[in-house]
Amino acid sequence: MGKNKSLTLPYPLILASTSKYRGALLEQLGWPFEAIAPGVNEEQFKHQDLTPQDLAIELSRAKAKAVYIHYEGSCVIGSDQVCCIGNKIFDKPGSLEVAIEQLWEMQGKSHELLTAVTVITPQEETTFLNTTTLHMRDLTREEIRSYLEADEPYDCAGSYKLESRGIKLFERIEMSDHTAIIGLPLIELSNVLIHFGYPL
């Protein structure tokens, strides 16, 4: 995946994810990379009584490390997202019924989307956390169902796709990087990779 295969990179670049959303984002940066599933059991982390922030960070580290041990000498990027109100975490719903209940609980309130990224190279490891605050408008159950049936965001934490019709659910969004919402904060990731020697 990726473009400009003639570029000289300091290390082979690997995305520890097979998410189509993260893969499409990383392609924007123009560096060739390989996408590899980390195979991390996320459920074991979710039962450790971690804060949402710590959960996102630990999952990003676990994913990066799970791939790096098989590809030492590479630069591996692991990322994870956690959607939360306070310490209550909203997972990927997986079904219409669960998604309706998630959006019903979030409507009329603000919540946070936490996106953690860990980058591991042979020289160093770095982790950062991006926080986006989203203010959802008041919604009826009929409006929620109508949105969900149109967008089908059942593989998305929080039960919405901001890059699609889900943007209509919100009155205001406070963010430093719009790509974080989709799953990979490209501005800070670019800063890290350029620091590691990746060319513009």
**In the prediction, which pLDDT does 182 show?**
86
Q: Which residues are catalytic?
A: 80
Query: In this model, does residue 191 exceed pLDDT 80?
Result: yes
Kindly give, in sequence order, each residue whose CB lies less than 8 Å from that of residue 53, ignoring residues fewer than 6 positions away: 82, 114, 116, 129
CA distance 178 to 174: 9
Kindly report, residue by residue over 97-124, the tens digit of the pLDDT: 999 999 999 999 999 999 999 999 999 9
For a pLDDT cut of 70, what percent of the chain falls above it? 96
Please tell me the pTM assigned to this model.
0.88
Give the position of tokens 């890059």. Answer: 163
What kind and span of H or E run contains 54?
helix 52-68
Going by pLDDT thresholds of 50, 70 and 90, the confidence category of residue 45 is confident
Under CATH, which number does the domain 13-195 receive? 3.90.950.10
pLDDT, mean of residues 38-49: 84
**In the prediction, which pLDDT does 4 show?**
47
Judge whether 37 and 20 are in contact, CB under 8 Å: no
The pair of three-digit structure tokens given for residue 20, joined into one six-digit string: 């189509």
Query: In this model, does residue 22 exceed pLDDT 80?
Result: yes
Kindly report, residue by residue over 61-93, the tens digit of the pLDDT: 999 999 999 999 999 999 999 999 999 999 899
Give 138-165 as a DSSP string. Answer: P--HHHHHHHHHHH--TTSTTS--TTTG
